[in-house]
Structure 1
């Protein structure tokens, strides 16, 4: 693989604005796949780009990414609204370089180049061991809109490598394999009371006091904890905002508390206990699912592919935040996460990705596809 071509493809994708409208970025992915591969390429009604090659009757192995991004920071756009893309010191800078158009580019090239011949035959003859799938979703940054739409339409690969960040998790200089990640549940506690003049507070019911009682319940909750393939995944719950009251001299009749919960596979914190406080209602605003890999052999095979692709010693690790792997795992796909982004890179005004690590990810993804005969059922 020509590393220059990978860097150029990544830069081309990063240069296309996709924080408000992913259409042009999706066009770029789709056009490249149609010109560079003989795969069956489709664009669904949600805007997702899907491509397939290999034996459609064989188990499917998907390389999964997304081409939407969060809004760019001021240094990441020029005076005409174009995305600024720079290459220096072996890194590619720009909105979406780490999260995650760089890994999408590595996935696209690996999808094109992977030899899908049946590795169980000495002469390499026979049907491909898998159907290889490339999926680039829309709307990951706003709750997995594209992934959810594709799943609702029947997208259900047997295995998936989601190319979100897993680099430098266990140690510096390696790209690890994530076998579990946390989800995120966003909740609102609505406390109600009754107004009164503040000079006679006993004539009212103070909603802020009720909200504070509910906060005390949250503060006392134990965080759920599970183990996935030897990895301890511990959740968390935090009150992140409180808003109530209309004037200095009025006992408030409403107060709102926001709660951020990081969930773990199979477990939630018992936030429903807050409703034991009189006048408090608990509402779930968003629930992004956690992920746990459901197939040990697949997780081990991806780790072996990662070891073969680099000089360091990668490990099975967990990840602190949600990805589209959570939606896919919930639909029955055996998932891992493996990609170039490092902790602290995504969503920053200085976002960048190592070009050497993108090349490493290309090798990992290709190794997984070409070694599918060792884990497909």
Structure 2
């Protein structure tokens, strides 16, 4: 059995219509019930809300996605009867604070036009999730085929991390985040590495004094500025994965200090955003060479590097067989759940229908042709790729 264009569209529409920015339960219910009805796989739903299905034996290949989304724009919400009352109310600021623009009596709007599906989650990433579900159903797997849809990806990968802690550890994985139109127009490429994100705070402490006698205090803002100079002199991280360069970045994004115009500030904080690369980090600990400055890490989303050239090549071959264009192996600037899986020992690539600039926007959309390509890529790879046990 092979999915047709109508099936891909209908399943995407069904998943996208279900609100899942505050509570992923209903979306997880839909994924779980579809898998139980459409496949003979072993389907589980863990206590966190993750949905995992398995069939076949041997080396495991997972098709991985997530069913949570970021908050919708007001224009992406409709009422239960199909009107746009809730959407208009959200735009006009008339929504009840308790329910928000997508409360229990509303759905997400899904529209089809010009060969694309529009709505919150179409690109990130319920469209690719639908393609993976259909491919999971239709593939004749060469080994064990796993499907996993996680919760909380938009909250730092909490679902993936919990599943990994509970023992979900496939040998290989294709994570369905965006890789379309990275190397060329109208093509779906294969990501072999992506950046992570390390968010840090520099806290400068001083001693307050009256501004008329600044020498009586220690100015925390000055110390923070000295720490910023250290950050500016640091090199951003850089790495090469399977011949592809991954360039990180390092930038100060916020600064906050002082309590009044006539008081020498005793505290100042600086936020630093670092986009990390596989195996390399900026030497941010150097800021602690400044008196009174402390460095703390607030968030650390891991980067991903595919550690098996054979798997990357197999994914590229499946991508090439599924489209007229010539796809390429590329890198991605954004962190995904592939980082957590790779950190746990899973060999990953990223391949999905979303294009640069589509996710998290009021006009979010996905190409229906790209969804069809992803279905074929996932099904082909699941059918053709098999390796022995990983070392």
Do they fold alike, i.e. is TM over 0.5? Answer: yes
- Give 2:94's aligned residue: none
Residue 71 (structure 1) aligned with residue 84 (structure 2) = no
Q: In 2, Cα distance between the equivalents of 1:70 and 1:22?
A: 11
Residue 375 (structure 1) shift: 7.9
Q: How does 1:215-226 map to 2 (within 5 A)?
A: 215-226=228-239
Equivalent residues of 2:59, 2:386 under 8 A apart: no
Cα RMSD of the aligned pairs, angstroms, is: 1.0
SS in 2 for 1:107: helix
Alignment match, 2:354: 341
TM-score (norm 1): 0.95
- Judging changes above 3 Å, is the alpha-carbon distance between structure 1 residues 77 and 94 closer, same or farther for their aligned structure 2 residues? same
In the alignment, structure 1 residue 262 sits paired with structure 2 residue 275: yes
Q: Which residue is 2:289 aligned to?
A: 276
Return the TM-score normalized by structure 2: 0.92
Contact 1:130 1:376 in 2 (8 A): no
Partner residue, 2:90: none
CA deviation map 1:142-171 (0-9, x unaligned):
100000000000110000000000000011
CA distance in 2, matches of 1:224, 1:135: 31
- Match for residue 92 of structure 1 among 94, 97, 117: 117
8 Å Cα contact 1:301-1:375 kept in structure 2: no
CA deviation vs aligned residue, 1:83-133 (integer Å, no higher than 9, x gap): 1111111100000000000000000000000012xxxxxxxxxxxx31000
CA distance in 2, matches of 1:152, 1:197: 53
Following TM superposition, the consecutive aligned residue runs of length 4 or more in structure 1 with deviations greater than 4 angstroms are 374-377
CA distance in 2, matches of 1:96, 1:222: 36
Match of 2:151 among 91, 116, 138: 138
**Contact 1:39 1:51 (8 Å CA) reproduced:** yes
Summarize deviations over 1:41-88 as a string: whole Å, max 9, x none: 000111000000112xx0100000000001011211133432111111
Q: Secondary structure at the match of 2:108?
A: coil
Q: What is the aligned residue count?
A: 363
The answer as to whether partners of 1:226 and 1:233 remain within 8 angstroms in 2 is yes
1:232 counterpart (245, 258, 263): 245
Structure 1 regions of 5+ residues with no counterpart? 117-128
Matched, 1:171 2:184: yes
State the Cα deviation string for residues 192-246 of structure 1 (Å, max 9, x = none): 0010000111101110000000000001101111110110011110000000011
CA distance in 1, matches of 2:278, 2:323: 30
Pairing 1:369–2:382 present: yes
Question: How far apart in 2 are the matches of 1:345 and 1:45?
Answer: 31
Q: Distance in 2 between matches of 1:181 and 1:375?
A: 26
